[in-house]
């Protein structure tokens, strides 16, 4: 087979008649793009199979060697073909995951069938090429253009109401190194989540420097290629319509986001049409990595100055993250102005907020890093206005270098002491005396450089100065402080009123990139009366003796160098009259300035780097009144670290392996994934590059962007990756107390001093809060806050991890909590019960799941005072309807309004009962009578207002309704009972059934004590009434004329034990049940007699078994008997009458 290499400049390696070549229209593609594949040199009208696979040595982010669907194509008559291949946008067609070919090298093989039109034969024609599928480089720096024009015009108008018209807006982006790519993201249509994705980026997002003219062309270029020293100056007027903020019109303006793959310098200045540049302000823009979360106002509206320079003092605050909260002096700021602090009082990405009426020493803190600019001015007095980019107070230092100290124009400095005691600041300069001055605690002091000021340069108009604290003058300490420069400090503030912040010495580097360095306005007019000089200059001061090298055009070759002593000040202009090699355009924008101890024979630095401080601004000696070409502004020039190191937390992985959408740490086991980029923005290649990071034990890299040769070439970026697993100690200490997991990555090289960058990942420990209130009107909603209620927090294992009590407003809060599942448990105050919980369970428990990215609020409990319901059960012993004796052991039941049992109790020895801890509501108290008792009355004897039965019988047997109000003790719910009596009755008759009257009948109890005595009536009946239940004996006394007992038994048996007793003994046993009328206890008597005698022999001996017969007077046989062994006989129960007794002799 013949095999050939392609890709736009393919080489023929086959030597065959046809020379097949295959190529793609680009070398690199992003997911979602279409690769156009072109082949030539194939047999006309033959077939070609195009095969694409991932390179096994570089399979891309999914780590899989994917083989893609082959493409069949027919060659045309000229031996060429064209086919398209869609670059995958997901993983294996799943719709998610890393795209199959992302960041992979792809091998493309185009195999032709050859003249025999058959594959797999010797005349197959093969060409190969490779291409890549990768997004453009990730940005390593991010900038937001500060001071949006709507807020800015309000500032202009406040300073002087003459301000009007459009705002002339200039944003300068200076390029430090070749191969830089800039992503310019306009705020108007929202920020682009994928600015480096050429396919999926927003239409308004511009990509500059990648050479692709379809996704944006860097202004000022033709080929969209950026080189070191290039300056992109975005100069446009912002119309006053829509209050200078029209989301429907894409402009280069405030809140735009600028991201870049290599270090750049960004500067922003603006002024209104009227009065023009006399009311201009400018500010250097910090990379987002340099933002902060704590700022202290070094001056304010209460700071007195010669020119009233701070009569107007505000903080411009811009957020880089959604959900950013602001706090002024510890109190959260009501951002939306609705007088309520809530979840809406946050800044989202790109939002700006102006803190007005700023006072000296005011402290601004934020929940996420923010960009802060201090804007000051003299209200109504011409156009005095100054802008100062602010440094996080935690980055303040004990030493600063300034290159601007001039007697002409009176340069002054304000120094703020954030400490609680007075400090002494020392100063020294190249052309100035040494000295000290004191600054009171938590206040500022003004120091003027002037012939009659605090620092007298003694005729040398220019000098650099070093301000510092030393241990000698500060009791062994070197306290930090902060400084601002005020140019035209004692004048009228009309000609060259500008200022700049001092940059700490430890943040200075040996090179700077001039972000904005215009010498005058760019109106095309000659610079009259000034010998064509720039009005604005760049001041540079080295901290040691040095040579200052200037690359005016940024081509990598330094055009001039000047020897400058330590702390001297060099003023630089782009003017060949002063500096050979200058471009002579009076504009230093994009110039690169380097400090080094020595120069080689070509005038290039070849010694040791020396740190410098640099400032650009209007030079007072070069300025005149009414000079319309002067720029009444200036800025500090941000040091350009080289190599530039950027450490970024790219994601946070939860312990379960999922990615945290907010990129925050909220629990132990979170994994922070870092990327560290090291970029060479300098003039020379760097060797011996070593990156260290004490936090990342698994640091890997570098991945070199140009050549894998261990040389960090100028314009090259190296990438390192690593991760850190969050420990319990991180959470317990809240990141050491500052709420962040932060650390420093450092890069060191053979040619440069170490350069570092820190990254702070917020620990977003959340909180759980709520309220406990009392329901006072029994409507199940809270009415009054409850203080000192104990509230506990339990973890997911049910272990109490924190306890607190509610404050005077009934509020509680648990702070510094990891993401997870919790339970809030409330303990009712004595005398209270639960009404409702937020989660509806009403069990004094609320379950809370903290997602980690927000607080849980509103976990509220509503309680109410509980009461008691009590009373007494009495016995009415005298049947007068009132209680006389307490009844013990009576069962009393409390029922709710649905008739369900709430509680049950029994009366004590005093007849009392009580239900305690009863929630307010409607109830009824129900009594169960003791055996043998019945209800007499049930009365609420206490007037408590509202109960249904106040002071009266409710006529409901054994039931008292009760309306219990919160905290009420409802007493007097009394019951009166009495024993249920019965009766015992019967008859006394003769054996003929005739009633016997006046027969005495007695009733004895079970102890044989006489209970009652009665006599039978004429009908023979007797009755014992009102007899208590119990066991009794009824005893009859036979009348004299009826001595015989025939029977005594219950003739109507009712189950009494004695019912079966047939013994005739004039006694009947009775068991009387409560309320029973036990009748039928009947006696039968008789008046019958007996006839008896004996039968003996003549010797007087008894004769037994002798038959004896009894005949009545009618000689009818009545009875027959025989004598006993004693010879006796007897006829019993014989009715009265005349009889004959007849013996039959034995």
CA 812 to chain centre: 16
pLDDT interval class at 889 (50, 70, 90):
very high
pLDDT tens-digit map of 562-577: 999 999 999 999 999 8
Six-digit token string for 515: 């972000």
- Give me the domain span that covers residue 784: 773-863
Kindly tell me if the per-residue pLDDT of 90 is higher than 80. no
In a domain, 531, yes or no: no
Identify which of 926, 919, 912, 855 has the alpha carbon closest to the alpha carbon of residue 883. 912
Q: What is the pTM of this model?
A: 0.67
Kindly tell me if the per-residue pLDDT of 86 is higher than 80. yes
Which CATH number does the domain housing residue 948 bear?
2.60.40.10
pLDDT tens-digit map of 958-1016: 899 999 988 889 999 999 998 888 899 999 999 889 999 999 999 999 999 999 999 99
What's the confidence (pLDDT) of residue 955?
A: 58
Q: Are residues 243 and 340 in the same domain?
A: yes
Q: What is d(CA 247, CA 818) in angstroms, rounded to the nearest whole number?
A: 39
pLDDT tens-digit map of 500-545: 999 999 999 999 999 999 888 765 454 444 445 788 999 999 999 9
Q: What is the mean pLDDT of residues 182-202?
A: 89
pLDDT tens-digit map of 155-169: 999 999 999 999 999
Q: Are residues 290 and 193 in the same domain?
A: yes
pLDDT interval class at 256 (50, 70, 90):
very high
Q: Are residues 354 and 488 in the same domain?
A: yes
In a domain, 235, yes or no: yes
In a domain, 635, yes or no: no
In a domain, 399, yes or no: yes
Percent with pLDDT over 70 in the chain: 94
Vertex 1051, ends 1050 and 1057: CA angle to 5°? 35
* Residue ending a domain, choose from 863, 887, 922: 863
What value does the mean pLDDT of the chain take?
A: 88
What are residue 151's phi and psi, to 5 degrees?
-70, -35
In a domain, 10, yes or no: yes
In a domain, 909, yes or no: yes
Which CATH number does the domain housing residue 735 bear?
2.60.40
Q: What is d(CA 625, CA 535) in angstroms, rounded to the nearest whole number?
A: 12
Q: Are residues 380 and 493 in the same domain?
A: yes
In a domain, 187, yes or no: yes
* Residue ending a domain, choose from 943, 958, 979: 979
Q: What is d(CA 927, CA 869) in angstroms, rounded to the nearest whole number?
A: 13
Q: What is d(CA 447, CA 444) in angstroms, rounded to the nearest whole number?
A: 10
Q: Are residues 303 and 428 in the same domain?
A: yes
pLDDT tens-digit map of 101-114: 888 889 999 999 99
DSSP code of residue 662: T
Q: 778: which residues sit within 8 A by CB, 6+ positions away? A: 864, 920, 921, 965, 966
Q: What is the mean pLDDT of residues 699-705?
A: 82
Kindly tell me if the per-residue pLDDT of 915 is higher than 90. yes
Distance linking the first and last C-alpha atoms of the chain: 163
Q: Are residues 105 and 237 in the same domain?
A: no
Q: Are residues 143 and 115 in the same domain?
A: no
Kindly tell me if the per-residue pLDDT of 655 is higher than 70. yes
658 or 275, which is more confident? 275
Q: Are residues 949 and 879 in the same domain?
A: yes
Kindly tell me if the per-residue pLDDT of 13 is higher than 50. no
What's the confidence (pLDDT) of residue 956?
A: 63
What's the confidence (pLDDT) of residue 126?
A: 95
Q: Are residues 109 and 125 in the same domain?
A: yes
Q: Are residues 756 and 728 in the same domain?
A: yes
pLDDT interval class at 6 (50, 70, 90):
very low
Q: What is d(CA 1035, CA 257) in angstroms, rounded to the nearest whole number?
A: 118
What's the confidence (pLDDT) of residue 376?
A: 96
Six-digit token string for 118: 């058959």
If phi > 0 it is left, if psi is from -120 to 50 it is alpha, else beta; for residue 852 that is: left
250 or 1045, which is more confident? 250
pLDDT tens-digit map of 942-957: 665 555 444 444 556 7
Q: Are residues 298 and 169 in the same domain?
A: yes
Summarize the chain as % helix, strand, coil (round to 5). Answer: 5, 45, 50
* Residue ending a domain, choose from 482, 499, 514: 514
In a domain, 489, yes or no: yes
3-state secondary structure labels for all residues of 493-544: CCCCCEEEECCEHHHCECEEECCCCECCCCCCCCCCCCCCCCCEEEEEEECC
3-state secondary structure labels for all residues of 47-59: EEEEEEEEECCEC
pLDDT tens-digit map of 375-429: 999 998 778 899 999 999 999 999 999 999 876 767 899 999 999 999 999 999 8
Q: What is d(CA 483, CA 433) in angstroms, rounded to the nearest whole number?
A: 19
What are residue 278's phi and psi, to 5 degrees?
-65, -20
Number of domains, the chain:
7
pLDDT interval class at 1051 (50, 70, 90):
confident
Which range, of 78-82, 1041-1045, 1140-1144, averages the lowest pLDDT?
1041-1045
Integer CA distances (angstroms), 923 to 775, 911, 965, in order: 19, 21, 11
Q: 150: which residues sit within 8 A by CB, 6+ positions away? A: 243, 244, 245
pLDDT interval class at 10 (50, 70, 90):
very low
Q: Are residues 791 and 897 in the same domain?
A: no
């Amino acid at each position: 087979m013949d095999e050939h290499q392609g890709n736009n400049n393919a080489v023929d390696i086959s030597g065959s008649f046809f020379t097949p070549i295959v190529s793609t229209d680009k070398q690199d593609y992003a997911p979602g793009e279409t690769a156009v594949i072109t082949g030539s040199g194939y047999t006309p009208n033959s077939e070609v199979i195009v095969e694409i696979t991932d390179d096994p040595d570089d399979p891309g982010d999914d780590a899989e060697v994917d083989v893609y669907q082959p493409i069949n194509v027919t060659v045309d008559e000229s031996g060429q073909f064209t086919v398209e291949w869609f670059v995958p946008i997901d993983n294996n067609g799943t719709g998610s995951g890393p795209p199959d070919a992302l960041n992979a090298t792809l091998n493309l093989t185009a195999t032709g069938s050859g003249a025999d039109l058959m594959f797999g034969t010797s005349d197959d024609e093969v060409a190969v090429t490779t291409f890549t599928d990768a997004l453009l480089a990730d940005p390593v720096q991010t900038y937001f253009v500060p001071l949006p024009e709507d807020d800015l015009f309000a500032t202009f108008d406040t300073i002087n109401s003459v301000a009007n018209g459009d705002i002339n807006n200039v944003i300068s982006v200076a390029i430090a190194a070749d191969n830089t790519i800039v992503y310019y993201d306009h705020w108007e249509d929202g920020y682009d989540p994928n600015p480096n994705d050429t396919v999926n980026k927003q239409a308004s997002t511009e990509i500059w420097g990648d050479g692709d003219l379809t996704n944006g062309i860097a202004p000022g270029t033709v080929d969209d290629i950026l080189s070191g020293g290039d300056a992109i100056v975005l100069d446009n007027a912002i119309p006053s319509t829509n209050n200078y903020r029209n989301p429907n019109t894409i402009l280069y303006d405030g809140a735009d986001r600028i991201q870049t793959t290599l270090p750049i310098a960004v500067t922003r200045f603006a002024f209104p049409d009227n009065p023009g540049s006399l009311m201009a302000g400018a500010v250097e823009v910090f990379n987002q990595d340099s933002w902060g979360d704590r700022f202290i106002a070094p001056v304010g509206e209460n700071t007195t100055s010669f020119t009233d320079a701070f009569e107007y003092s505000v903080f411009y605050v811009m957020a880089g993250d959604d959900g950013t909260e602001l706090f002024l002096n510890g109190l959260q700021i009501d951002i939306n102005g609705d007088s309520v602090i809530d979840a809406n009082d946050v800044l989202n990405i790109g939002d700006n907020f102006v803190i007005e009426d700023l006072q000296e020493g005011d402290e601004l803190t934020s929940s996420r890093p923010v960009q802060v600019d201090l804007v000051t001015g003299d209200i109504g007095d011409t156009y005095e206005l100054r802008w100062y980019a602010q440094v996080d107070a935690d980055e303040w230092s004990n030493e600063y270098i300034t290159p601007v100290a001039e007697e002409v124009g009176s340069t002054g400095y304000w120094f703020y002491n954030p400490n609680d005691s007075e400090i002494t600041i020392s100063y020294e300069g190249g052309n100035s005396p040494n000295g000290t001055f004191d600054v009171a605690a938590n206040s500022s002091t003004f120091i003027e450089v002037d012939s009659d000021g605090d620092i007298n340069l003694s005729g040398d108009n220019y000098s650099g100065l070093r301000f510092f604290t030393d241990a000698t003058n500060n009791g062994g300490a070197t306290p930090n402080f902060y400084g601002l420069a005020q140019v035209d400090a004692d004048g009228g503030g009309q000609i060259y009123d500008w200022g700049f912040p001092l940059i700490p010495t430890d943040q200075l580097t040996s090179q700077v990139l001039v972000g904005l360095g215009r010498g005058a306005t760019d109106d095309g007019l000659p610079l009259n009366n000034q010998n064509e000089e720039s009005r604005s200059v760049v001041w540079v001061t080295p901290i040691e003796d040095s040579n200052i090298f200037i690359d005016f055009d940024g081509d990598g070759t330094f055009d001039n160098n000047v020897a400058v002593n330590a702390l001297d000040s060099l003023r630089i202009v782009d003017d060949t009259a002063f500096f050979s090699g200058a471009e002579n355009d009076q504009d230093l924008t994009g110039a690169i300035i380097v400090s080094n101890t020595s120069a080689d024979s070509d005038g290039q630095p070849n010694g040791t780097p020396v740190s410098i401080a640099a400032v650009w601004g209007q030079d007072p000696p070069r300025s005149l009144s009414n000079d319309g070409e002067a720029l009444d502004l200036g800025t500090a020039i941000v040091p350009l670290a080289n190599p530039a190191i950027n450490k970024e937390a790219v994601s946070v992985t939860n312990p379960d392996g999922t990615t945290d959408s907010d990129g925050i740490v909220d629990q132990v086991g979170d994994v922070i994934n870092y990327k560290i980029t090291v970029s060479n923005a300098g003039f020379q290649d760097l060797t011996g590059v070593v990156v260290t990071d004490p936090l990342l034990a698994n640091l890997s890299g570098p991945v070199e962007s140009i050549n894998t040769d261990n040389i960090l070439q100028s314009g090259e970026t190296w990438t390192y990756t690593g991760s850190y697993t969050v420990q319990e100690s991180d959470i317990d200490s809240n990141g050491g107390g500052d709420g962040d997991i932060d650390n420093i990555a450092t890069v060191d090289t053979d040619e440069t001093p170490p350069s570092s960058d820190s990254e702070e990942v917020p620990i977003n420990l959340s909180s759980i809060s709520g309220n406990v209130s009392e329901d006072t009107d029994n409507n199940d909603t809270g009415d009054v806050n409850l203080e000192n209620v104990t509230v506990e927090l339990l973890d997911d294992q049910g272990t109490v991890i924190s306890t607190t009590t509610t404050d005077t407003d009934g509020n509680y809060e648990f702070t510094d909590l990891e993401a997870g599942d919790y339970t809030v448990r409330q303990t009712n105050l004595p005398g209270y019960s639960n009404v409702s919980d937020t989660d509806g369970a009403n069990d004094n428990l609320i379950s809370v799941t903290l997602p980690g990215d927000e607080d849980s609020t509103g976990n509220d409990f509503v309680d109410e005072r509980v009461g008691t319901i009590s009373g007494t059960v009495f016995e009415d012993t005298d049947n007068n309807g009132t209680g006389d004796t307490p009844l013990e052991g009576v069962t009393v039941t409390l029922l709710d309004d649905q008739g369900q049992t709430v509680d049950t109790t029994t009366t004590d020895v005093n007849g009392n009962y009580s239900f305690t801890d009863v929630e307010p509501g409607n109830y009824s108290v129900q009594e169960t009578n003791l055996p043998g008792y019945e209800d007499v009355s049930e009365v609420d004897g206490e007037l408590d207002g509202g109960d249904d039965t106040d002071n009266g019988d409710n006529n409901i047997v054994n039931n008292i309704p009760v309306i219990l109000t919160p905290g009420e003790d409802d007493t007097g719910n009394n019951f009166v009972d009495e024993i249920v009596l019965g009766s015992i009755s019967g008859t006394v008759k003769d054996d003929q059934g005739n009633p016997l009257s006046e027969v005495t009948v007695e009733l004895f109890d079970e102890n044989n004590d006489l209970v009652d005595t009665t006599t039978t009536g004429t009908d023979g009946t007797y009755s014992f009434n009102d007899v208590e239940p119990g066991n009794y004996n009824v005893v009859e006394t036979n009348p004299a004329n009826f001595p015989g007992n025939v029977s005594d038994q219950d003739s109507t048996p009712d189950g009494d034990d004695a019912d079966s007793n047939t013994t005739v003994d004039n006694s009947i046993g009775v068991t009387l049940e409560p309320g029973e009328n036990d009748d039928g206890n009947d006696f039968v008597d008789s008046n019958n007699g007996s006839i008896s005698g004996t039968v003996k022999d003549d010797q007087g001996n008894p004769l037994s078994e002798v038959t004896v017969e009894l005949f009545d007077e009618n000689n009818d046989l009545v009875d027959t008997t025989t004598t006993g062994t004693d010879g006796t006989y007897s006829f019993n129960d014989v009715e009265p009458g005349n009889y004959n007794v007849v013996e039959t002799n034995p």
